[in-house]
Structure 1
Amino acid sequence: MCMKTEFLFLTILNSGPKHPRASLDVFLRPLIEELKELWSTGVEAYDISLNKNFNLKAVLLWTISDFPAYGMLSGWTTHGRLACPICMEDTKAFQLPNGRKTCWFDCHRRYLPHGHQLRKNKTSFLKGKHAIRDYPPQSLTGEQVLYERIRQVNPLKTSDCGGNGHEVKQRGYGDWHNWHKESIFWELPYWTDLNLRHNLDVMHIEKNFFDNIMNTIMNVKDRSKDTVKSRLDVARFCDRKEVHVDNQGKAPFPNFRLTQPAKEALLKCVKNDVKFTRREIFRHEES
């Protein structure tokens, strides 16, 4: 059945250094035109259960992608201090001076209910900082995003620049906005009415979290996130003296790292008690 014409679809593979990045809208143009038709006039289809034709209409509820592709689809760049497309300019992210990475540590407490005891905590999160008066970012409607954010910045549409003009950033880019283009999806007449326009595929997110956690607690060489630079950043921002680097430049053994007996017990459990399906074993052998 999957090889029949009516069930075939075109897959666009654009990997490598020359993938379209911000100019992905060039490839989405045929899709957008079909979606407009399916929304406005519809197409004739056949209902086999009723044995008659009917007018079929359709709507695109949201996109599903990983986080980098989120930026390609939405027009909001998903890296740097303003990477979060929900917080936007109201982000609490900051740069780690030693790790040289953007950090979102302690950005979540403002989502807690007012009066929550963790909002008053000054020792378990950022050193000496409470979140009593921190409020979550404003929840914007589609119309607010388009007219009060995108149209105020007025980034180029891919169709206007021929697909090669998104390298030139608009005024304020990286400071108070991350818009590099006006996405082609805003051409859909219902796009501003959707509260959730882009979804994240959790597969890669879950894998990255799992890999980083396991590499850190197992202290895997060159893959653990527990480094001297990270310890220096912890000493600067957090009140956790038990993991601070001492005057001799040595880092004490952290309580989150497994000892050798604990590692052996974990590996023994995985080997003897964890069960895998044949498909998972086959995929592991292939890789």
Structure 2
Amino acid sequence: MAPTQCMKAENIMLTMLIPGPTAPSNNIDVYLQPLIEDLKDLWTEDYPGLGTLAGCKVKGKQACNVCGKETPHRWLKFGRKHVYMGNRKRLMPGHPYRRRKGWFDNTVELGVSKRIQSGKKYLKADMPVRHNIDVMHVEKNVSDALLSILMNNEKSKDGLKARKDLQDMGIRSILHLEKRGKRTYLLPAAFWLSKEEKSMKSHDHHVLLQNLFPVALRGLLPKGPRIAVNRICNYFNRLCQRVIDPKKLLTLEAEIVETMCQLERFFPPSLFDIMFHLPLHLAKEARLGGPVHFRWIYPFERYMKTLKAYVKNFARPEAFQEAINRNEDIEATENVLEGRPLQKATEVTLTDKERETAHRYILMNAAVMDPYIELHLEELQATDERCTKNETLLWKYHTERFPQWIKDKIPNNSKEHLKRLRWLAFGPRNNAHTYKGYVVNGHRYHSDDVKRNTQNSGVTYEAFSMCRASAKDSKQMADMVAYYGVIKDIILLDYHMFQVPLFKCSWAHKGKRVKEEEGFTLVNLSMNQSSFANDPYILPSQAKQVFYSREDESSPWYIVMRAPPRGYHELETEERFDYEPSVQPIEDIGYQSDDESFCVRDDCEGVLVDV
């Protein structure tokens, strides 16, 4: 069975082990030995389960099952645990981080990382990967640890023992403990959020780490810790893409080493448990084993949630029978070309100009019209010499004349053309239907006047547009341009025999209303729509959903956030999601001197601890 089918819920085979009074407990690895023999080709499990079921070491000096005996470990005297730093060994020999003593563990790094263990050595089998590290669990644990240390809550790894370990290692003296009477004072670290900034809450660590962290921390933390956190977020974002260029994975392997070194510089050693070491190997595993969504646990976890909902008696979970099929694919309405509307329709009457504008857009973007568009362009060039020399004039005439030309070319009583093509050339009625919501390609959209807790009206659309290199350049060229906007109306045009959906949008002006800052796209949604009056529409299939996060209450600028469609990782849609966030180079991180003043925030309160 193909990987795209194996991860479908309807193809998952469930084997249940019901624990009882004579359960094997810690000896379950012996009990499951026959099963493990069959699973040697690919073993996916959360990391602690690897130690329980496969007998691997997941704690102590050899906690990394990939590095084995070469796992870089350090024992924290006061934290009483092993941490896994030493990432500078993986850098190039001349990298500047190798010479920085005070930034890391007070030593100059001269060593090099040794070759990792292979699956062949481990299982005596021909395997490129000795164990498949589950991205889902690593991502969740990294996100949880970062959120806790930024919020400085009860789970934070920057406490009294962590500061004592800094003092024991002789680094970041400015963060060492201060005695204030009978109590000990912990200075506010550069990565702490102030009370006013602690307003971010989320339980979905996948979305949190890849989408919300970079936006939420923008403008809050000092530049160094913020960029380091953004880089680890971008790493997981690019790693989890459905389509990955193998050449880019080599770059990703080098970037994650620098990113982990940056985290080592700004965050305490106590943060770097084994979950902060495993990301170093994920890019190589993707290079050897393919995209992560064929190997992670998300589909199984979600399917288990569905199955648990069928259980009525938890003392007898084996007695349940699945009542429904978990196929969430959305079937399109028969007389609608794509997708399906939500809620009740409202009938409206379009003006002749509105009808012509919408009809022209559909004709120009319908795939079935492509041969006729080429034919019309050739006729214009043959009949008017100016159109041959002036491409702008050619497309102007084409846009204005094509609807009437195609109507004459394909009469409604033609026997040579398909019925749908004849009605498309004939044109729609003035009476149309509008809706508040629409579902297409796994996305759920709503017009912006719908008051909801979730925001579903943001869209982006990439289109070829005639543009100039500068204001002084008179020559126009066709180039791909990204437009950002919000849905104002969802309209279904009635073409007598079928309906065609359109999104009518308000668009941000390219140039003054769209800008790039620190790897983020910002748009100004306070827009005058006069320049888009003749072209406000897009087809639902052309829309890519985005979300807008306002910089602050007084700012007109919104940060653009992208998210994959529903069912994207479960392969319930064929849509590609090729968004790759930019990664800032290490030169932009700042703090290149040995001055440690950046380690403490002067706008945040510290913590008094009773010893």
The residue aligned with 2:46 is 66
How far apart in 2 are the matches of 1:131 and 1:13?
51
Deviation at 1:197, TM superposition (A): 2.5
Alignment match of 2:144 (pick from 211, 221, 226): 211
Superposed, 1:128-277 pairs within 5 Å as: 129-132=107-110, 134-145=111-122, 186=123, 191-220=124-153, 222-248=154-180, 249-264=184-199, 266=200
Unaligned runs of 5+ in 1: 36-58, 146-185, 280-287
How far apart in 1 are the matches of 2:19 and 2:133?
19
Alignment match of 2:29 (pick from 24, 46, 53): 24
User: Retained in 2: the 8 A contact 1:61–1:197?
Assistant: no
Shift in alpha-carbon separation, 1:139–1:69, aligned structure 2, 3 A: same
The residue aligned with 1:182 is none
Greater Rg by CA: 2
Deviation at 1:258, TM superposition (A): 0.7
Shift in alpha-carbon separation, 1:202–1:14, aligned structure 2, 3 A: farther
RMSD: 3.7
Q: Name the aligned partner's letter for residue 103 of structure 1.
A: V
How far apart in 1 are the matches of 2:74 and 2:80?
10
How far apart in 1 are the matches of 2:190 and 2:12?
54
Identical aligned residues as a percent:
24
How far apart in 2 are the matches of 1:88 and 1:3?
35
3-state SS, counterpart of residue 132 of structure 2: strand
3-state SS, counterpart of residue 102 of structure 1: strand
Q: Name the aligned partner's letter for residue 237 of structure 1.
A: M
Deviation at 1:229, TM superposition (A): 0.8
How far apart in 1 are the matches of 2:168 and 2:162?
10
The residue aligned with 2:17 is 12
Q: Name the aligned partner's letter for residue 255 of structure 1.
A: A
Q: Which has the higher strand share?
A: 2
User: Retained in 1: the 8 A contact 2:99–2:108?
Assistant: yes
Alignment match of 1:123 (pick from 89, 93, 102): 102
Scaled by the length of structure 1, what TM-score is found?
0.58
The residue aligned with 1:82 is 62
Alignment match of 2:77 (pick from 94, 97, 104): 97
User: Retained in 1: the 8 A contact 2:29–2:54?
Assistant: no
How far apart in 2 are the matches of 1:261 and 1:30?
53
3-state SS, counterpart of residue 250 of structure 1: strand
Shift in alpha-carbon separation, 1:74–1:112, aligned structure 2, 3 A: farther
Deviation at 1:60, TM superposition (A): 5.3
How far apart in 2 are the matches of 1:143 and 1:224?
39
Deviation at 1:260, TM superposition (A): 1.7
User: Retained in 1: the 8 A contact 2:167–2:176?
Assistant: yes
Scaled by the length of structure 2, what TM-score is found?
0.29
Shift in alpha-carbon separation, 1:217–1:139, aligned structure 2, 3 A: closer
Shift in alpha-carbon separation, 1:125–1:7, aligned structure 2, 3 A: closer
Question: Is residue 2:92 matched to residue 1:113?
Answer: yes
Deviation at 1:257, TM superposition (A): 0.7
Deviation at 1:143, TM superposition (A): 5.0
How far apart in 2 are the matches of 1:62 and 1:254?
42
User: Retained in 2: the 8 A contact 1:124–1:238?
Assistant: no
Shift in alpha-carbon separation, 1:212–1:19, aligned structure 2, 3 A: farther
Deviation at 1:114, TM superposition (A): 1.8
User: Retained in 2: the 8 A contact 1:141–1:192?
Assistant: no
Shift in alpha-carbon separation, 1:31–1:262, aligned structure 2, 3 A: closer
Shift in alpha-carbon separation, 1:244–1:28, aligned structure 2, 3 A: same
3-state SS, counterpart of residue 34 of structure 2: helix
User: Retained in 2: the 8 A contact 1:97–1:233?
Assistant: yes
User: Retained in 1: the 8 A contact 2:150–2:193?
Assistant: yes
How far apart in 2 are the matches of 1:235 and 1:93?
19
Q: Name the aligned partner's letter for residue 135 of structure 1.
A: V
Deviation at 1:110, TM superposition (A): 0.8
The residue aligned with 2:395 is none
Aligned pairs, how many?
202
How far apart in 2 are the matches of 1:261 and 1:64?
41
How far apart in 2 are the matches of 1:7 and 1:224?
38
Q: Name the aligned partner's letter for residue 46 of structure 2.
A: D
How far apart in 1 are the matches of 2:109 and 2:58?
26
